[in-house]
Structure 1
Amino acid sequence: MNPPVHVIDDDADFREGIVWLLESRGLPTHAWTSGEAFLKALREGAPRAGDCCVVLLDIRMEPLSGLATFEQLKAMAWPWPVLFLTGHGDVSMAVAAVKNGAWDFLEKPFQNNLLVDKVEAARAAAIEQLQHDQERLHLGQALASLSSREREVLREVLKGHYNKNIADHLGIAQRTVEFHRANIFDKLQVQSTVELAHRLGRLGLDVEG
């Protein structure tokens, strides 16, 4: 996986320099002359908001600032890291943006290696986020595929109850519980109750509904 970097800056020389630097390090890079241009392209589906990437965003642009661009990205439920580029006088705004969900910021002037390192770290975070989302989706679909009885058994299993107790509580044979339990683990692709509980907690899923 090789997530692209979208460089958004209204200063042509600076933008082209950043693109040259990143591409010289083997990073796929796309340049945008303004926040409006990038947002317009997103709304038109190229690039797609769901495609794993990193945004490198200048904080001071006209007429739409980097902060205003970021707010619109948030309104579109943008999931990927946004790294702000800021001058000395705008550090406080960049800090506020990070508190508001931006991934990080870098103050100009900066060393080339530092920029590349931060971009690489943001790309790694984007890949991790994508993998998390995909795992959550797949486990959620597997949970949805369980029958009503399997879901009942699963709730009991996650409470730590033994097969015999589950059978007594649900009014079914213990062998039936064992069958459902094995089928549940197979559908959810787990080996144990502990593994399943850990995955559910890490992915923010539950078995209700």
Structure 2
Amino acid sequence: MIRVVLADDEAMIRAGIAAILGSDPGIEVVAQAGTGREAVDQVAGHRPDIAVLDIQMPELDGLAAAAEIRRLRPDTGVVMLTTFGEDTYIERALALGANGFLLKSGDPAELIAGIKAVADGAAFLSPRIAKRVIDQLPRSNSGARERVSVLTPTQTDVLTLVGSGLSNADIAARLHIAEGTVKAHVTVIFGRLGVRNRVQAAILAHQAGLVQSLA
């Protein structure tokens, strides 16, 4: 069961998202919050697998709440809720270690898929957001290529698949290795590349030319 804390200052939107998540038998919304401060308190109290945070909230905005949650509960995945026009926040949220971005206007199935992907250890960007993020990256960056050159061939393969959005289980199946081995590779990759999570690793993979840009 994936345990979720959901935070959004708009009660109707929060109720709608909670209903969508609650429709999946594998997801439980254990607490809700209307402010960023409440979100941090609920995460501290309930220790969920995932915190779903609206970017713009009173008392403490979603970005500040994400930073506190990452500090207090580094094992809790952070998924940001956003509207299509909030591009300026994406880079900041990535730097804070957010694991995913979901559009409020997205398909309900996408919301559930995103929560499950992050809970499974993958990064998840709503496809429309992912395209805008990737399209803004240099097609090939010599600095990024130099950074990934420290990886072994197997680690490079793992990074490429992380950049393609695959979970650890999917990568293990693709490379015919144990999932625990993939997790170990990912940990080493993060350390060698100086990235905090799979979203940052995926962006670096794109910058290094390991993954083709989205069509």
Q: Which runs of 5+ in 1 are unaligned?
A: 127-197, 205-209
What's the counterpart of residue 8 of structure 1? 7
Q: CA offsets, 1:139-194, max 9 Å, x none?
A: xxxxxxxxxxxxxxxxxxxxxxxxxxxxxxxxxxxxxxxxxxxxxxxxxxxxxxxx
Q: Is contact 1:59-1:94 (8 Å) kept?
A: no
Alignment: residue pair count = 128
What's the counterpart of residue 41 of structure 2? 40
What's the counterpart of residue 91 of structure 1? 87
Give yes or no for the alignment of 1:66 onto 2:62. yes
How far is 1:70 from its partner? Answer: 0.9
Q: Which runs of 5+ in 2 are unaligned?
A: 123-180, 189-215
Q: Is contact 2:99-2:118 (8 Å) kept?
A: yes
How far is 1:78 from its partner? Answer: 2.3
For the residues of structure 1 that align with 2:43 and 2:52, how far apart are their CA atoms? 15
Give yes or no for the alignment of 1:121 onto 2:117. yes
Give the counterpart letter for 1:33 in structure 2: G
Q: CA offsets, 1:32-76, max 9 Å, x none?
A: 222211323445xx213xxx5111110011121001101112332
Q: 1:18 to 1:12 in 2, by over 3 A?
A: same
Q: CA offsets, 1:60-102, max 9 Å, x none?
A: 1112100110111233252221110111221231233124311
What's the counterpart of residue 22 of structure 2? 23
Q: 1:11 to 1:102 in 2, by over 3 A?
A: same
Structure with the larger helix share: 1
Q: Is contact 1:5-1:55 (8 Å) kept?
A: yes
For the residues of structure 2 that align with 1:6 and 1:91, how far apart are their CA atoms? 24
How far is 1:31 from its partner? Answer: 1.7
For the residues of structure 2 that align with 1:41 and 1:108, how far apart are their CA atoms? 22
